């Protein structure tokens, strides 16, 4: 899957990932390969994304995520 994390200041991450864990308004959820199309609001919390060389984490104060055709766009 391809993940793009964008803030008003800069693009935080852009690249291939295997799993993304997000802080949804109704609780934490994960996105895996071939996930159904989705648009969701995000709450304050930690975003964890795993890629071939390990994993990384960032804290967000809210935002929106869109999942479509194995592309994830996170606006935080």
Please say whether the structural domain 2-75 has been given the CATH code 2.170.150.70: no
Q: Domain boundaries in the chain?
A: 2-75
User: How many other CB atoms are found less than 10 A from the CB of residue 25?
Assistant: 10
**pLDDT tens digit string along 18-70?**
999 999 999 999 999 999 999 999 999 999 999 999 999 999 999 999 999 99
Q: Measured between alpha carbons, how far is 32 from 17 in angstroms, rounded to an integer?
A: 9
Looking at residue 4, what is its pLDDT?
Answer: 98
pLDDT at residue 65 in the model: 98
């Amino acid at each position: 899957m391809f993940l793009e994390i964008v803030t008003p200041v800069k693009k935080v991450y852009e690249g291939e990932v295997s799993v993304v864990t997000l802080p949804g308004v109704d609780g934490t959820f994960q996105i895996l390969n071939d996930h159904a199309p989705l648009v969701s609001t995000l709450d304050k919390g930690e975003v964890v994304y795993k890629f071939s060389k390990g994993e990384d984490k960032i804290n967000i104060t809210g935002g929106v995520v869109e999942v479509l055709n194995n592309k994830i766009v996170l606006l935080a």
